[in-house]
A and B are shown apart, each in its own frame.
Chain A
């Protein structure tokens, strides 16, 4: 499967770039870009890690849900001429509903070997969505269009497309809302209670299955928001989901499974390392360097940066 184009807007790495811009400025640029795009990955990964924490499943479908979000924005933009960011007002509730429906139809039925079966069931869901998307939109790469994708802003000698800045602001707003929801509301308290101990939570009167279906909906909606930002910064086709889901899974392993702040830090670390390596060395090696660092981290800290050691489950 071809890699999606690098997230770097203007500068491609390799020889010559270093002489032209100098080491420090390249590293700074890599970090800035990494933080801006890291926000997008944080949106998708926080959905995945929430779903993992509350539902105790590995949602392999998160990758294709991101791509589905990108295609929904594509449809709204291309056929109804709705602005990408305004279109989120339509796609987010729509995807929330889809998430609740998927949870009700498939995830809720998993009782035996829940985690491993969830990999297969969500993979099957992903296949169905991928097939349908491929049928309607073919496997050709698509791009989202808007003025702020083409327009750039001069940033200390480098040009960055406005869409990176807008997407970053979107991520901050949505993630702030998510943190507020999880840590400051009574729904969030119930959510965290079901994350810690499902049985105990249901014993004190929390409707855990309702919390679970809402959480899956939120995760799906976050995927849609991330999908719009992903589609605005990358060309995508239905098979982009494989690359996405592998990155997202790596992010949540790095941050620690089930940890929201871990997903946040993990995304930024991943994208920053990737972008700096891409600028200094070569784009083809950027993910490899990150993966090797991940392997080293796992040797010393198997539970990830913010994860807790897995206790014994009874």
Chain B
């Protein structure tokens, strides 16, 4: 099983590495691939906070915007030419987003659960308005142009693809480390029952705030990548509620709180959305179709693809004891009980 899983992971990595080379002259496809990776990385970051603690933030676009504007303004201020140099600004963008996340997170985390979700939306609109109105910094609705990379237009997606890929791997690694640490267990305990977790010695305040800041850093870097990739930024596109709904949708489809969920969700959501926009964008029917697909998937697999398949797999294994000889050992029994309990909850 372990060998199978490692092999699968390796095969996936190799596939993702060679994928753009195979399709490289077709920029329509590689564009979508870059967007998918950026969103997968943003969703992985978002999941570190919202997936693990159960606090659904619909305002992480704020950090997407901070990242994007940091990238644009830094390029403008230091006169950085297009090329590989702007990629070095990605950590700076993440840092700026993280620093802003500390006071903002402290503010919005005063509310709990759904009041939190609604409050984050309000914060998002504050910053969208600031983006429009602080024309001295953001140039308002006229937007800021980023330096364009000097690469061959047919191949110019490749550097973006690989940088986004590296960032995604880093985000997944951090998310995985957190998931398997005592800190991560504390976050999951907050998701399951905040008051009981508090009683057992988890300090919800610092736990939530630190996870919020970590996730803001990754979403900020995703925003910076996005800004450099599309080349111009406007307040309405980087402080766009749609970005957040996308992150949420990706994780809910993939599976909230799971690692692979961000990848699976992004691969399903982003290409579908981009393809529908290309196909039907002029008539607005793309929105109706995308919404219908979303509705069907949410109603059929409400727990997300990864979680639903996992519970089904465990149920199947439990009902076929001969198929898996070692099903009766303590560990898998415990797992089945846990899965059942989550089902009940």
Contacts and interface: CB of A to CB of B under 8 A. Distances in A.
A294 B295 CA distance: 33
Interface stretch (B108-116, B155-163, B327-335): B108-116
Residue with the greatest number of chain B CB neighbours at <10 A, chosen from A125, A288, A294, A304 = A288
Residue with the greatest number of chain B CB neighbours at <10 A, chosen from A110, A112, A285 = A112
B123 A295 contact: yes
B286 interface: yes
Interface in B223-254: 236, 241, 245, 248-249, 252
A206 interface: no
B284 A139 contact: yes
B283 interface: yes
A213 B151 CA distance: 57
Interface stretch (B32-40, B72-80, B84-92, B129-137): B129-137
A238 to B, nearest CB: 7
A58 interface: yes
A250 B123 CA distance: 10
B121 A246 contact: yes
A273 interface: no
A304 to B, nearest CB: 8
Given A1-B236, A117-B302, A119-B117, A135 B284 contact: yes
Contacts of A238: 284
Interface in B81-124: 107-108, 110-115, 117-119, 121-124
A127 interface: yes
Contacts of B114: 58, 115-116, 257
A312 interface: yes
B316 interface: no
A110 B295 contact: no
Interface residues of A, number: 53
Contact of A126 (B107, B132, B291, B302): B291
Given A246-B125, A288-B126, A295-B126, A131 B287 contact: yes
B287 A249 contact: no
A249 B122 CA distance: 8
Contacts of A115: 113-114, 117
Contacts of A294: 122
Nearest to B289: A131
B303 A112 contact: yes
Contacts of A291: 122-123, 125-126, 129
Nearest to A254: B122
B147 to A, nearest CB: 27
B119 A132 contact: no
A249 B249 CA distance: 20
A242 B58 CA distance: 13
Interface residues of B, number: 47
A169 interface: no
B248 A58 contact: no
Contacts of A1: 236
Contact of A298 (B110, B195, B249): B110
A299 interface: yes
A58 B118 CA distance: 9
A106 B252 contact: no
A75 interface: no
A112 B299 contact: no
A5 interface: no
Nearest to B249: A120
A27 to B, nearest CB: 22
B34 to A, nearest CB: 24
A252 interface: yes
Nearest to B292: A128
Residue with the greatest number of chain A CB neighbours at <10 A, chosen from B107, B130, B284, B298 = B284
Contact of A252 (B112, B118, B124): B118
Nearest to A126: B291
A139 B281 CA distance: 12
Contacts of B132: 284
A292 interface: yes
Interface of B: 56, 58, 107-108, 110-115, 117-119, 121-126, 129-130, 132-133, 195, 236, 241, 245, 248-249, 252, 256, 283-292, 294-295, 298-299, 302-303
Going nearest first, the 4 A-B pairs with the smallest beta carbon separation are A134-B284, A131-B288, A127-B291, A131-B287
19 contacts: A58-B117, A113-B302, A115-B114, A115-B117, A124-B292, A128-B295, A131-B284, A131-B288, A132-B284, A132-B288, A133-B284, A246-B125, A249-B122, A253-B122, A287-B125, A288-B126, A291-B123, A292-B126, A298-B107
